[in-house]
Amino acid sequence: MMDIDPRYPPREEIARPGRPKLGVVAREVTLLPRHWDWLAAQPGGASVALRKLVEEARQNPRLRLRATRDSIYRFMTALVGNAPGYEEAIRALYAGEREEFLAHIESWPRDVRAKLEELCAPAFG
Protein backbone atom coordinates (compact mmCIF):
# COMPACT_ATOMS: atom_id res chain seq x y z
CA MET A 1 0.00 0.00 0.00
CA MET A 2 1.32 3.47 -0.93
CA ASP A 3 1.44 6.40 1.42
CA ILE A 4 -0.36 9.36 -0.14
CA ASP A 5 0.16 12.84 1.21
CA PRO A 6 -3.16 14.58 1.58
CA ARG A 7 -3.46 17.64 -0.62
CA TYR A 8 -5.20 19.62 2.11
CA PRO A 9 -4.97 19.37 5.88
CA PRO A 10 -7.87 17.64 7.63
CA ARG A 11 -10.86 19.94 8.08
CA GLU A 12 -10.50 20.26 11.84
CA GLU A 13 -6.94 21.57 11.43
CA ILE A 14 -7.94 24.50 9.23
CA ALA A 15 -7.98 27.74 11.23
CA ARG A 16 -11.13 29.74 10.53
CA PRO A 17 -11.82 33.36 11.41
CA GLY A 18 -14.67 34.29 13.73
CA ARG A 19 -16.36 32.17 16.34
CA PRO A 20 -17.81 29.10 14.63
CA LYS A 21 -18.53 27.42 17.96
CA LEU A 22 -20.94 30.24 18.79
CA GLY A 23 -22.59 30.16 15.38
CA VAL A 24 -21.40 33.67 14.51
CA VAL A 25 -21.16 34.34 10.80
CA ALA A 26 -19.22 37.43 9.72
CA ARG A 27 -20.89 39.58 7.07
CA GLU A 28 -19.73 42.72 5.39
CA VAL A 29 -21.26 46.07 6.32
CA THR A 30 -20.50 49.18 4.30
CA LEU A 31 -20.72 52.41 6.29
CA LEU A 32 -19.29 55.88 6.01
CA PRO A 33 -16.37 56.81 8.28
CA ARG A 34 -18.62 58.93 10.52
CA HIS A 35 -20.86 55.88 11.07
CA TRP A 36 -17.89 53.72 12.05
CA ASP A 37 -16.69 56.49 14.39
CA TRP A 38 -20.09 56.65 16.09
CA LEU A 39 -20.29 52.86 16.42
CA ALA A 40 -16.78 52.66 17.86
CA ALA A 41 -17.71 55.20 20.54
CA GLN A 42 -20.70 53.18 21.76
CA PRO A 43 -20.47 51.07 24.92
CA GLY A 44 -19.58 47.53 23.95
CA GLY A 45 -18.40 48.51 20.48
CA ALA A 46 -19.92 48.26 17.03
CA SER A 47 -21.41 44.77 17.32
CA VAL A 48 -23.31 45.51 20.53
CA ALA A 49 -24.57 48.85 19.20
CA LEU A 50 -25.75 47.30 15.92
CA ARG A 51 -27.55 44.45 17.72
CA LYS A 52 -29.33 46.97 19.96
CA LEU A 53 -30.35 49.10 16.97
CA VAL A 54 -31.71 46.07 15.13
CA GLU A 55 -33.68 44.87 18.15
CA GLU A 56 -35.17 48.35 18.69
CA ALA A 57 -36.17 48.53 15.02
CA ARG A 58 -37.79 45.09 15.17
CA GLN A 59 -40.05 46.36 17.98
CA ASN A 60 -41.13 49.48 16.06
CA PRO A 61 -44.90 49.15 15.42
CA ARG A 62 -44.70 50.91 12.05
CA LEU A 63 -42.00 48.55 10.81
CA ARG A 64 -43.88 45.52 12.12
CA LEU A 65 -47.03 46.71 10.34
CA ARG A 66 -45.05 47.10 7.13
CA ALA A 67 -43.56 43.61 7.51
CA THR A 68 -47.05 42.17 8.05
CA ARG A 69 -48.37 43.88 4.93
CA ASP A 70 -45.35 42.75 2.92
CA SER A 71 -45.98 39.16 4.01
CA ILE A 72 -49.63 39.39 2.97
CA TYR A 73 -48.55 40.92 -0.35
CA ARG A 74 -46.26 37.94 -1.06
CA PHE A 75 -49.02 35.50 -0.12
CA MET A 76 -51.52 37.25 -2.40
CA THR A 77 -49.07 37.48 -5.29
CA ALA A 78 -48.34 33.75 -5.12
CA LEU A 79 -51.97 32.68 -4.91
CA VAL A 80 -54.03 35.27 -6.75
CA GLY A 81 -51.60 37.61 -8.49
CA ASN A 82 -53.73 37.67 -11.63
CA ALA A 83 -57.18 37.74 -9.99
CA PRO A 84 -59.59 40.57 -10.74
CA GLY A 85 -59.14 43.41 -8.26
CA TYR A 86 -55.68 42.22 -7.19
CA GLU A 87 -53.88 45.54 -7.73
CA GLU A 88 -56.68 47.51 -6.11
CA ALA A 89 -56.65 45.14 -3.13
CA ILE A 90 -52.90 45.62 -2.72
CA ARG A 91 -53.32 49.40 -2.79
CA ALA A 92 -56.06 49.18 -0.17
CA LEU A 93 -53.90 46.88 1.97
CA TYR A 94 -50.99 49.32 2.06
CA ALA A 95 -53.34 52.30 2.53
CA GLY A 96 -54.90 50.58 5.55
CA GLU A 97 -58.38 50.65 4.02
CA ARG A 98 -59.96 47.45 5.33
CA GLU A 99 -63.43 47.80 3.80
CA GLU A 100 -61.95 48.70 0.42
CA PHE A 101 -59.65 45.68 0.61
CA LEU A 102 -62.50 43.33 1.47
CA ALA A 103 -64.58 44.69 -1.40
CA HIS A 104 -61.83 43.93 -3.91
CA ILE A 105 -61.32 40.34 -2.75
CA GLU A 106 -65.03 39.52 -2.55
CA SER A 107 -65.07 37.61 -5.85
CA TRP A 108 -62.02 35.49 -4.99
CA PRO A 109 -62.29 31.84 -3.87
CA ARG A 110 -63.82 31.48 -0.42
CA ASP A 111 -60.85 29.71 1.17
CA VAL A 112 -58.41 32.34 -0.12
CA ARG A 113 -60.66 35.13 1.16
CA ALA A 114 -60.96 33.46 4.56
CA LYS A 115 -57.19 33.10 4.89
CA LEU A 116 -56.61 36.69 3.78
CA GLU A 117 -59.14 37.99 6.28
CA GLU A 118 -57.34 36.04 8.99
CA LEU A 119 -53.91 37.29 7.92
CA CYS A 120 -55.10 40.87 7.51
CA ALA A 121 -56.52 41.35 11.00
CA PRO A 122 -53.25 42.80 12.35
CA ALA A 123 -52.56 44.67 9.09
CA PHE A 124 -55.59 46.89 9.58
CA GLY A 125 -55.21 47.28 13.35
Cα(6)–Cα(25) distance, integer angstroms: 28
pLDDT at 23: 62
Domain locations in the chain? 61-120
The CA–CA distances, whole Å, from 50 to 31, 45, 67 equal 12, 9, 20
Tally Cβ neighbours within 10 Å of residue 94. Answer: 16
pLDDT at 89: 97
Going by C-beta distance under 8 Å and a sequence separation of 6 or more, which residues neighbour residue 17?
26
Going by pLDDT thresholds of 50, 70 and 90, the confidence category of residue 81 is very high
Please state the length of the chain: 125
Q: What is the pTM of this model?
A: 0.61
| pLDDT (mean) for 2-24 | 62
Tally Cβ neighbours within 10 Å of residue 117. Answer: 14
**Per-residue pLDDT tens for 44-74?**
988 899 999 999 988 899 888 999 999 999 9
**Per-residue pLDDT tens for 87-116?**
999 999 999 999 999 999 999 999 999 999
